[in-house]
Structure 1
Amino acid sequence: MSKIELLAPAGNLEKLKTALTYGADAVYIGGESYGLRAMADNFNLDEMAEGVKFAHDMGKKVFVTVNIFPHNDDLKGLPEYIKSLEEIGVDAVIVSDLGIFSIVKETAPDMGIHISTQANNVNYKSAQMWYKLGAKRVVLARELSLDEIKEIREKTPLDLDLEAFIHGAMCISYSGRCLLSNYMTGRDANRGACAHPCRYKYYLVEEKRPGEYFPINEDEGGTYIMNSHDLCMIEHIPEIVDSGITSFKIEGRMKSSYYVATVVKAYREAIDSYLKDKENYKFNPKWLDDVSKASHRNFSTGFYFGKPQAQIYTNSSYIRSHDIVGMVKEYDKENGIATIEQRNRVFKGETLEVLTPKGENFNIVLNEMWNSEGQVIDVAPHPQMIYKIKTDRELKPLDMLVKEKGE
């Protein structure tokens, strides 16, 4: 079986560098067209080239989403785009449409092709067929159990990678194929512009009583009837490794750099711990605590252990216990001065946690702060302002300063 790959989302260049620095083996990104996250920052070709070089210098990979369901007009310019991706050195494209698949094979025959979860890969025969056509990887549908995945692994060539989501948002529609956004807002989810109407609060209206809204009670107080739990498999690393999945995929190209760093680091530590000593592996509750700090909805194990439990719940609110307040840009060892880019307001005297790619996180106190002009300050209030702090603990670029919400 292939080496286990930890695959992380990257909505922009900073998130790409963060994901790879914090332990991802590969990232998936979107260009300015043809992907299913039109609202993400996404990459132009120059940024993509910089990201690919950064990844390859670390011995890691970059995959690009080209997974819309294209209408005729969407195909204009696609061959040229695929050729540009090949020239940049992208490791593979992720596709869901057979027409796009054929364009890739014609335009860049040596390009790796991964079959998106949008293609509803739920059985071994479809995986076998994609392999025969030339796909190097199949991204399995979220609706599969571990037992079903094991059977797919047993009946497919070992050099066909199997990728599956192990953490992040779930979709109420089958493998992400949804018409609701298009119907309600004119924004086509299958072409990258989902408005997430599954997260709306719905009421029932009787036609002869206009203006009278009745809550739809799924249980005692539930009205968010299509809003799903987030997926979290951090407590089940042995099961997903032993199922035959070769690429563990984290959802979240729209999520923050803090989310990417926190989740990637936790899964990296859990995976490495299990692979190092399977016989004596023991789950560390800290890993679950860490992924719970970043913005998320209530966790579940999705379909992995059969029919999901509590797939629908009572609100659409995110849970977030911690906020990133600063990203380290550089550190002057001689003077013990760190340069920080502000991400949320922070005050002198506050105790902050430092999230660092390797090793245990640690705390520092902001005893001294200066703005970019060297003036002493008591607060860093402005988004993305550059400020400096005094700390004897060495900080590194992409370390993150984090504080608990409410402090």
Structure 2
Amino acid sequence: MKKPELLAPAGNLEKLKTAINFGADAVYLGGSKLNLRAFADNFTDEELREGVEYAHSRGKKVFITINVFPHNEDLIGLEEYLKDLYNLNVDAIIVSDPGIIMTAREVVPDLEIHLSTQANNVNWKSAIFWHKQGVKRIVLARELSLEEIKGIKRNIPESCELEAFIHGSMCMAYSGRCVISNYMTGRDSNRGQCAQPCRYKYYLVEEKRPGEYFPVVEDEKGAYILNSKDLCMIEHIPELIQSGIDSLKIEGRMKSAYYVASIVKSYRQAIDAYFDNPEEYVFQKKWLDNLEKASHRAYFTGFYFGDSNKQTYETSSYIRDYDIVGVVREYDKSTGLATIEQRNKVLEGDTVEILRPVGDNFEIKLDDMRNGKGEKIESAPSAQMIFTIKTDIELEKDDMLIKSKINR
């Protein structure tokens, strides 16, 4: 049985390094053009070069999204951009448009192509069609059940890989092909500018009573009739692996480094535990606990088991019970001093959890907080300020300090 790739989002260089450090086998990200996250911290060529070198030096891969539906003007400079990516030694491009695929085959024939989920591939014949066009991997539509995925796997050549989303936000539109944002805000969701109007609060107006707004559900909060739950398959790792999926993909290029770290870590632990001993594999609640601490909406299993209840009507807000408050930059064993870069306000005496790539989370107390000048401080309120604490527990570079907001 082949261990599937764990593929993580990388919205910027810090998140790329975080994903790899916490166990991702590969990352996907947007370059400077033609990707569906126009408002992410997309990579410059220099950042991309550094990211590729960082990943490759650790035996990991980097995939670049070129997954917009391009209009004529978007094609200007495409050939040069593809050549630049090839020269940067990226491992594959993720594409939805046949024109971009054709261009890539012409100008960079050795560059691996993955078919984006935006192309909504839902059957094995389509998979074979795309494979014959030079596509090595199909990123499956999210509207498929596990049984359908197994059927696709049985009917395609071994040389054709399958990738599927296993965690993260879900779009209400079919395979993300939505135009509500275009109509309501003039921002084209299929060219990377979605304003997420599915998260807005909506009321019903009756034709003959203009100006009277009625909630679709009788609730003073309004109704979020288009708002989807988040996908979470952490409790179904054996089924995912046995379906034959080659790459398990996490959504979230717009999410935080803390989100990337916690989600990647849980799935890494679960996948490795299954392959360590498939016959004795047991789901561990701590994996789900880590996922629930990261920012998310209510979880569900998507379409994998034929579920249809994907909406969450109560709120469009994320559940954010934990914050990242700092990242360890250095630890001196001789003095017990940890140097920390602040991420959110934290106080002297706070108890925080330590999140690191390997091992369970553990708690420490923030004692003897001092600023960069060595002066005693009661809090670290300034963004990215450097401060120190004293602890006998040995910390490691890039350990994340997370703090419950409930007990703050």
In structure 1, the partner of 2:257 is 257
Once residues 205 and 78 of structure 1 are traced to their aligned partners in structure 2, the CA distance between those partners, rounded to angstroms, is 46
In structure 2, the partner of 1:136 is 136
**1:330 has 2:335 as partner:** no
Secondary structure in 2 matching 1:136: strand
Contact 2:301–2:307 at 8 Å: present in 1 too? no
Alignment deviations for residues 293-314 of structure 1 (CA, whole Å, 9 cap, x no partner): 0000000000000142343432
In structure 2, the partner of 1:116 is 116
In structure 2, the partner of 1:397 is 397
Alignment deviations for residues 179-216 of structure 1 (CA, whole Å, 9 cap, x no partner): 00011000000000000000001111123322110111
Which ranges in structure 2 are unaligned for 5 or more consecutive residues?
A: none
Secondary structure in 1 matching 2:376: coil
**1:7-406 paired onto structure 2 within 5 Å:** 7-217=7-217, 223-406=223-406
TM-score, reference length from structure 2: 0.97
Q: Which amino acid letter does the alignment assign opposite residue 39 of structure 1?
A: F
Once residues 36 and 140 of structure 1 are traced to their aligned partners in structure 2, the CA distance between those partners, rounded to angstroms, is 17
Q: Which amino acid letter does the alignment assign opposite residue 31 of structure 1?
A: G
Contact 2:369–2:388 at 8 Å: present in 1 too? yes
Secondary structure in 1 matching 2:138: strand
Alignment deviations for residues 21-59 of structure 1 (CA, whole Å, 9 cap, x no partner): 000000001012210001111100000000000000100
Once residues 219 and 169 of structure 1 are traced to their aligned partners in structure 2, the CA distance between those partners, rounded to angstroms, is 25
Cα distance, 1:387 vs structure 2: 1.2
Once residues 205 and 29 of structure 1 are traced to their aligned partners in structure 2, the CA distance between those partners, rounded to angstroms, is 41
Secondary structure in 2 matching 1:368: strand
Contact 1:323–1:402 at 8 Å: present in 2 too? yes
Once residues 218 and 192 of structure 2 are traced to their aligned partners in structure 1, the CA distance between those partners, rounded to angstroms, is 30
Distance 1:356 1:178, change over 3 A: same
Secondary structure in 1 matching 2:353: strand
Cα distance, 1:2 vs structure 2: 4.5
Deviates more, 1:145-154 or 1:215-224: 215-224
Deviates more, 1:170-179 or 1:384-393: 384-393
Distance 1:37 1:361, change over 3 A: same
Once residues 102 and 158 of structure 2 are traced to their aligned partners in structure 1, the CA distance between those partners, rounded to angstroms, is 24
Distance 1:323 1:206, change over 3 A: same
In structure 2, the partner of 1:6 is 6
Question: Which ranges of 4 or more aligned residues in structure 1 deviate by more than 6 Å?
Answer: 218-222
Q: Which amino acid letter does the alignment assign opposite residue 324 of structure 1?
A: I
Cα distance, 1:384 vs structure 2: 1.1
Q: Which amino acid letter does the alignment assign opposite residue 404 of structure 1?
A: S
Once residues 77 and 109 of structure 2 are traced to their aligned partners in structure 1, the CA distance between those partners, rounded to angstroms, is 17
* Count of aligned residue pairs for this structure pair: 407
Q: Alignment RMSD, CA only?
A: 1.4
Secondary structure in 2 matching 1:23: coil
Q: Which amino acid letter does the alignment assign opposite residue 51 of structure 2?
A: G
Q: Percent identity?
A: 64
Alignment deviations for residues 305-325 of structure 1 (CA, whole Å, 9 cap, x no partner): 014234343211111221100
Q: Which amino acid letter does the alignment assign opposite residue 281 of structure 1?
A: Y
Contact 2:302–2:310 at 8 Å: present in 1 too? no
Once residues 175 and 95 of structure 2 are traced to their aligned partners in structure 1, the CA distance between those partners, rounded to angstroms, is 14
Once residues 300 and 272 of structure 2 are traced to their aligned partners in structure 1, the CA distance between those partners, rounded to angstroms, is 23
Once residues 383 and 205 of structure 1 are traced to their aligned partners in structure 2, the CA distance between those partners, rounded to angstroms, is 44
Once residues 49 and 308 of structure 1 are traced to their aligned partners in structure 2, the CA distance between those partners, rounded to angstroms, is 42
Contact 1:30–1:42 at 8 Å: present in 2 too? yes
Alignment deviations for residues 95-128 of structure 1 (CA, whole Å, 9 cap, x no partner): 0000011111111111010000000110001100
Q: Which amino acid letter does the alignment assign opposite residue 107 of structure 1?
A: V
Distance 1:297 1:218, change over 3 A: farther
Alignment deviations for residues 371-399 of structure 1 (CA, whole Å, 9 cap, x no partner): 11221111000111111222222222221
Alignment deviations for residues 318-348 of structure 1 (CA, whole Å, 9 cap, x no partner): 1122110001122223322222111110011
Once residues 219 and 162 of structure 2 are traced to their aligned partners in structure 1, the CA distance between those partners, rounded to angstroms, is 37
Which ranges in structure 1 are unaligned for 5 or more consecutive residues?
A: none
Secondary structure in 1 matching 2:370: strand
Once residues 312 and 322 of structure 1 are traced to their aligned partners in structure 2, the CA distance between those partners, rounded to angstroms, is 21
TM-score, reference length from structure 1: 0.97
